[in-house]
Amino acid sequence: MCGRTACTLAPDEVSRACSYRTRAGQRRRPRWRDGDADNYKPSYNKSPQTRSPVLLSQRHFDKEAPADECVLASMRWGLVPPWFREKNVSKMQYSTSNCRSENILEKKTFKDPLIKGQRCVILADGFYEWQKVEKDKQPFFIYFPQTEEVKEGKTEDVSTTSMPSQQKDSETTDEEAPAEWTGWRLLTMAGLFDCWTPPEGGEPLYTYSVITVDASPNLQSIHNRMPAVLDGEEEVRQWLDFGTVKSSDALKLLQPKNVLSFHPVSSFVNNSRNNSPECLQPVDPNSKKEPKPTASSKMMMSWLKTSSTEKRKEPDSSEGEKEQEVNVSESKPTGALKQWLQGANKKPRTK
Q: Is residue 225 part of a domain?
A: yes
User: What are the pLDDT digits (tens) for 169-201?
Assistant: 433 444 455 678 889 999 999 999 999 999 888
The answer to whether residue 129 is catalytic is: yes
Confirm whether 30 is domain-assigned. yes
Residue tagged active-site, from 7, 13, 129, 149: 129
CATH of the domain at 239: 3.90.1680.10
Evaluate whether residue 114 is within a structural domain. Answer: yes
User: 268 lies in a domain?
Assistant: yes
pLDDT of 260 over the 50 cut: yes
- pLDDT tens sequence across 55-65: 999 999 999 99
Q: Considering the domain boundaries, does residue 111 fall inside one? A: yes
Residue at 348 is within a domain = no
Mean pLDDT of 300-326: 44
Is 351 within the bounds of a domain? no
pLDDT digits (tens, 9 = 90+) for 201-247: 889 999 999 999 999 999 999 999 999 999 999 999 999 999 999 99
The pLDDT score that the predictor gives to residue 148 is 64
3-state SS, the chain, equals CCCCEEECCCHHHHHHHCCEECCCCCEECCEECCCHHHHCCCEEEECCCCEEEEEEEHHHCCCCCCCCCEEEEEEEECCCCCCCCCCCHHHCCCCCCEEEHHHHHHCHHHHHHHHCCCEEEEEECEEEEEEEECCEEEEEEEECCCCHHHHCCCCCCCCCCCHHHHHHHHCCCCCCCCCCCCCCCCEEEEEEEEEECCCCCCCCEEEEEEEEEECCHHHCCCCCEEECECCCHHHHHHHHCCCCCCHHHHHHHCCCCCCCEEEEECHHHHCCCCCCHHHCCECCCCCCCCCCCCHHHHHHHHHHCCCCCCCCCCCCCCCCCCCCCCCCCCCCCCCHHHHHHHHCCCCCCCC
How many structural domains does the chain have?
1
Residue 350 lies in a domain: no
Q: Is the pLDDT of residue 292 over 60?
A: no
* Residue 2 designated active-site: yes
For residue 223, what are the domain limits?
5-343
